[in-house]
Structure 1
Amino acid sequence: MTQAIFIADLHLTPQRPQALRLFQFFLQHRARRAAAVYILGDLFDTWIGDDDVNTHYDAVRQALRDFTKSGRACYLMRGNRDFLIGQRFAAATGCILVNDPWRIEINDEPVLLTHGDLLCTDDVAYQKFRRRIRHPIIKWLFLRQSLTRRQRIAADYRRRGQLATAMKSLEIMDVNQLAVEAMMTAHQVTHLIHGHTHRPGDYYFTQAQHAIQRRVLADWHDDCGELLVTDAGQWWREIIQQPTGAVEYHQSSE
């Protein structure tokens, strides 16, 4: 079994129980036909620490644990919403935490995986904020606050982030082409997969006479989620739905 599935931006939260059920359904059924699942960030809408006792997250942990115990691999990259996921979560679920960006071999081809926010360099304010909140000292101080205090801080960040986003143009929040080319050159790849922008699609361009592929993952909704699948050198997208569990197959054009 060599099939791999890539997903991102599920944004699971206690306020979206349907999305959780869809994710559970995916792990129990479609995902088990693959050798590995790659989650490229923002599995959760907010993550304030591995010690969060919300029972909603217990269901996510159990679903992931059942999946990895079945013999499949789940690689988890942290996104801008859940960058505080740590080794305690990994141990509880069997997920393998990976860095951003991460270079792998798929179908005997080097492929670069990233959440995507590092590529949005036109959003200067966000990049400054990202560097600040991910500083080891800031993370250390945050995780030593009470859960209640962390919840308030996270809610305030979320509120201010929504206000700031509403004032930004769509172009600023998309990836910067030069940043894409620089990252791919640095890692010596011609194939990139990422999420974050919520602008799914397959993008092609030429760089230094090489054909470049950039595949963008879709964000999930309460009633459906999109998968990027590869097997034996072929790539395609699928839509998984609930409650019927019907799956539609869409072969991507190559």
Structure 2
Amino acid sequence: MFISDLHLKSEDDVHTRILLRFLREEAPGAGRLFVLGDLFEAYVGDDDGDPLLAVVADALHALAAMDVEIAFVHGNRDFLLGKAFADRANMLLLPDPCVIDLAGKPVLLSHGDRYCTDDREYMRWRAQMRDRDWQSGFLGQPLAARKAFAERARAASAEHQKDLSAGISDVNAATVEGELRLFGIDTLIHGHTHRPACHQHDLGGSMARRWVLSDWRGHGEALVADERGTLSRVSLFA
């Protein structure tokens, strides 16, 4: 199963309730669960005592105890999620991008923001936020200062998105196709854009498929693979 872009805000948020029910009732039969970023609306460090983080980590740990492998790819909202949270949740932190085996076939996974190369301002911001020295300095600040920064960053992002055309805020097809050729893979699964779809890409002699995960708006959604690796979407409710 694959999910992304839940943007959880509080322990009593409707999307949190959907996630907790999903982890209890539907995910146990999955075998593997991949969370492709933006699990949280904001994440400013593993030392944050927000009850939401404990609730989600413990629910993930309970799922892992049922022999479900859980893996996480950082998003643009929770790129500071670290080893302490991952250990509590008993989940594996994966690089972005990464390759997994799905029913004997290699599949490329990513949060997806790395492909939005037409938005040059965002890509500059992304490079800074992913810099290890910047992260170390940021995490050394008081928790209150980090939370205030996150609030300002979200507001700035919302304003930035208002000024973008649909094309600029989406992935760049050439960037996607270049990475698929580099890895020699014909299937990509990612989130980030909040534009769920399945796209076809011509790699020059072969076709590739790009699955875009849904964000959670009112209800949740998961991309599910059967034993043959066939993918389909499932809606999730509280």
Q: Into which bin does the TM-score normalised by the smaller protein fall?
A: over 0.9
Matches within 5 A, 1:18-57: 18-57=14-53
Report how far residue 16 of structure 1 moved: 6.1
Q: Give the drift of 1:69.
A: 1.2
Q: Distance in 2 between matches of 1:135 and 1:205?
A: 31
User: Which secondary structure state, in structure 2, belongs to the residue aligned with residue 84 of structure 1?
Assistant: coil
* Separation (CA, whole Å) in 1 of partners of 2:160 and 2:201: 31
Please list every run of 5 or more consecutive structure 1 residues that lacks an aligned counterpart in the other structure.
243-254
Give yes or no for the alignment of 1:99 onto 2:95: yes
- Identity among equivalent pairs (%): 35
CA distance in 1, matches of 2:3, 2:94: 14
Take 1:236 and 1:149, find their aligned partners in 2: how far apart are those partners?
A: 42
For residues 7-42 of structure 1, give each alpha carbon's deviation from its aligned partner in whole angstroms, at most 9, with x where no partner exists.
110001128611111100000011011101000110
Q: Distance in 1 between matches of 2:99 and 2:35?
A: 14
Letter paired with 1:113: L
C-alpha distance in structure 1 between counterparts of 2:52 and 2:30, whole Å: 26
* Code of the aligned partner of 2:158: Q
More strand by share: 1
Question: Which stretches of structure 1, 4 residues or longer, exceed 3 Å deviation after superposition?
Answer: none
State the SS of the aligned residue for 2:168.
Answer: coil
- Residue 132 of structure 1 pairs with residue 128 of structure 2: yes
Aligned partner (choices 206, 209, 214) of residue 210 of structure 2: 214
SS in 1 for 2:177: helix
> Number of matched residues?
237
Match of 1:249 in 2: none
Alpha-carbon deviations, 1:127-176, whole Å to 9, x = none? 01110122111101100111111111111111111111111111100000
RMSD of Structure 2 on Structure 1 (CA): 1.1
Match of 2:6 in 1: 10
Structure 2: give runs of 5+ residues left out of the alignment: none
Using the alignment, how far apart are the partners of 1:76 and 1:208 within structure 2? Answer: 32
Find the counterpart in structure 2 of residue 73 from structure 1. Answer: 69
> C-alpha separation between the residues in 2 aligned to 1:166 and 1:126?
13
TM-score (norm 1): 0.91
Q: Is the 8 A contact 2:11 2:51 kept in 1?
A: no
Q: TM-score, normalised by structure 2?
A: 0.97
Code of the aligned partner of 1:231: D
CA distance in 2, matches of 1:35, 1:56: 25
